[in-house]
């Protein structure tokens, strides 16, 4: 499995988001691509919503037959905009952890394997100071 992070972004946070996303995504992928998780997913995809308006709503869709998830989760815009680079990374990390917690509730998911994935992701967060 591989993590992919996207964004529905307002332009004034786009560069900072890309830098933080890249660091978080690479660190987590370095950890999780070494292991094998028996989850019914092709990829772990999560899109951050970072905007001042309410144009985009949160989405938490999962299809066990297609092995796909469509998760779009909010990150507090003003807090992210005013945060240090380290805090921005932590906010993206928190969004990802939330996506896994929400995923555990979906029908057709191997909850034990998601919990194992969460433990591995937590380890990455501790090593990088995101939690």
Domains and CATH numbers, the chain: 3-128 (3.40.390)
Per-residue pLDDT, 69: 93
Tens-binned pLDDT, residue by residue, of the chain (131 aa): 899 999 999 999 999 999 999 999 999 999 999 888 999 898 899 999 999 998 899 999 999 899 899 999 999 999 999 999 999 999 999 999 999 999 999 988 999 999 999 999 999 999 999 98
Tokens of 110: 């191997």
Per-residue pLDDT, 1: 86
The CA-based angle 35-101-115, given to 5 degrees, is 35
- 57-68 burial, b at 16+ Cβ within 10 Å, e below that, comes to eeeeebeeeeee
Tokens of 2: 């591989």
Residue appearing with tokens 């987590």: 28
**pTM (2 decimals)?**
0.95
CA distance 131 to 126: 6
């Amino acid at each position: 499995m591989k993590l992919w992070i996207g964004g529905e972004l307002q332009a004034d946070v786009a560069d900072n988001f890309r830098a933080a996303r890249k660091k978080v995504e690479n660190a987590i992928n370095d950890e999780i691509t070494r292991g094998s998780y028996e989850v019914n997913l092709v990829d772990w995809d999560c899109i951050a919503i970072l905007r001042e308006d309410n144009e985009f709503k949160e989405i938490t869709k999962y299809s066990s037959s297609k092995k796909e998830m469509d998760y779009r989760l909010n990150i507090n815009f003003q807090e992210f905009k005013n945060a240090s680079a380290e805090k921005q990374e932590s906010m993206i990390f928190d969004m990802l952890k939330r996506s896994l917690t929400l995923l555990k509730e979906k029908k057709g998911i191997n909850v034990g394997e998601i919990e194992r994935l969460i433990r591995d992701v937590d380890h990455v967060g501790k090593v990088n100071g995101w939690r």
